[in-house]
A and B are shown apart, each in its own frame.
Chain A
């Protein structure tokens, strides 16, 4: 036990003397939460829409006024000239073009079918989908309010519609920041556990100090505990710091129990540190370790469902996620923070993470050799 304490003391001294470690530990949570949460937003605001009004009627002006009033759109006007319209899209001056046809008002009044033409730049499919939804919302609002209430059109002439009133649970305002923040915390904790552990261990190899350690009667488990425990502690600290930033600056609701969150985070850190150790078993230099981690890190983070819904991924990707610890932890953190889930609600994730952690850690520890 004393040996472990001696190693811990050495590790903490070295960690806090490392010029890079202080910024990583203290500033990274701020940078990631403050910048990434804003930058990684999928919310749509003030997107440019070009409206071509061929009808020039009361109705078309009403409709344009509705677009102007919407927070989602900034309206440009354009005359009806196909090449000018295309030019606008090519230059990225507009994301979408709505064409109000001639006889728009007349056809509505007579109950004839009306077709509006909508062109959306769909390079970014996600925002194209959102634009489409918002345009349709404005149009149906326009039909209801403007036509039925302000004019004397017989509602019977309008297509009957079923209104679905949605309530958004757990994130009522559909606040994207509240969705992203737990995700950013997952990245933060993953980086601390995987990157720092393996770089720290490989550094000893690179400098040759590991040889000196290996000729001492120190036991493998003593050395490894001394190496890993600091990052366990730093990981928990990072979670606390990141969570505090989220709650203070982004009003992140915290529905769950802190204890549950910490239990899950400790298990995840165990798994992450195991991965870090495993990589350091095979890497001879910090550079090798970095590149190896980058390769895996990008894949497991993007597949984890941080930006996109895992349920809409193809089946094979979902199967891959069965062995992706980040996927489980992403679900766990979001569920505990936003929904207040307990360990029994997340039993599958709980068991999966434990199995993953024990498997990776055992393999990594078994592979770690004092004698080669």
Chain B
């Protein structure tokens, strides 16, 4: 099945002084797939995601997101993406509703549109009791789900998730992934970084990073076959040992 590329990265390099955070990355992401970026802390995942979102300038290389060049068309890119950072930066002193209304307003959604989409969301997540609570009073799992809902509220083409599930229990993580699948079904491409290897199994394709470089890339099944492993855990260990 042929699908067009929504992200294209060629020879991406990002240096901070002498330190090379991203060393010659090459990959592409297809439309409507879940693309996982896997790696230990400090492997360069967050740097790469920030470059794709237009938060950081690349040092060199070609980066196209949603058909736009990150050097020249960051404003166009921003209109077409959603982003959820590690710190899932909702405003703690605003309520769930106020946060959503604020971001939706910034993306230029009409008031009536915000209203209907918000009502749908409340129903879907079952947050009728939570919607008028301050974000600071919510449990971590809910903060993450709501941050994700904010990131896709304006129906972007791509959503970037930077370690969205760190720090919560497996059940909450599973629920979070249900939300991700739902987003993909509606046509959103998901770019997710994680250091949970079991989550790699949920991705259509994964890319394993270490020390700023891409060590392997492919579907979970391909990788398991190539490294003769039962699961992604083993794949990861074998790649790490192979060095």
| A, B: real partners | yes
Interface residues of A (CB under 8 A from B): 2-3, 6-7, 9-10, 13-14, 17-18, 207-218, 370-372
Which DSSP category, helix, strand, loop or mixed, fits chain B's interface?
loop
CB of A217 within 8 A of CB of B92, answer no
Residues of B within 8 A of A218 (CB): 106
Establish whether residues B57 and A14, one from each chain, have CB atoms under 8 Å apart when the complex forms.
no
Interface presence of B42 (CB below 8 A): no
Within the complex, the shortest CB–CB distance from A32 to chain B, in Å, comes to: 27
The reply to whether B106 and A216 form a contact with Cβ atoms under 8 Å apart is yes
Interfacial chain A residues near B98, Cβ < 8 Å: 10, 13
Closest 8 interchain pairs by CB? A208-B87, A6-B105, A212-B89, A215-B83, A209-B89, A217-B78, A208-B89, A217-B79
Residues of A within 8 A of B25 (CB): none
Bound CA span A214–B54, Å = 8
B102 neighbours in A (Cβ, 8 Å): 6, 9-10
Cβ distance A207 to chain B, nearest Cβ, rounded Å = 7
Chain B residues, Cβ within 8 Å of A217: 75, 78-79, 106-108
B53 contacts the other chain (CB 8 A)? yes
Given A14-B91, A17-B93, A211-B89, are A371 and B78 also a contact pair (CB < 8 Å)?
no
Q: Do A371 and B56 have beta carbons less than 8 Å apart?
A: yes
Main secondary structure of the interface of A (DSSP, over half): helix
Q: How far is A109 from B94 in the complex, measured between Cα atoms in Å?
A: 85
Work out how many contacts link A and B, with CB atoms closer than 8 A.
Answer: 75
Question: Knowing A215-B55, A216-B78, A371-B56 touch, does A3 contact B105 (C-beta < 8 A)?
Answer: yes
B-chain residues with CB within 8 Å of residue A210 when the two chains form the complex: 89
Find residues 82-119 in chain B having any chain A CB closer than 8 Å to their own CB.
82-83, 85, 87, 89-94, 98, 102-103, 105-108
Determine how close the nearest CB of chain B comes to the CB of A122; give it in whole angstroms.
Answer: 54
Report whether B94 and A215 are in contact in the complex, using a CB–CB cutoff of 8 Å: no
Interface centre among B78, B89, B103, B108 (most CB of A within 10 A): B89
Please name the residue on chain B nearest to A10 by beta carbon: B102
New contact pairs (4) apart from A7-B106, A215-B82, A217-B106, CB-CB < 8 Å: A18-B93, A211-B83, A217-B79, A371-B74
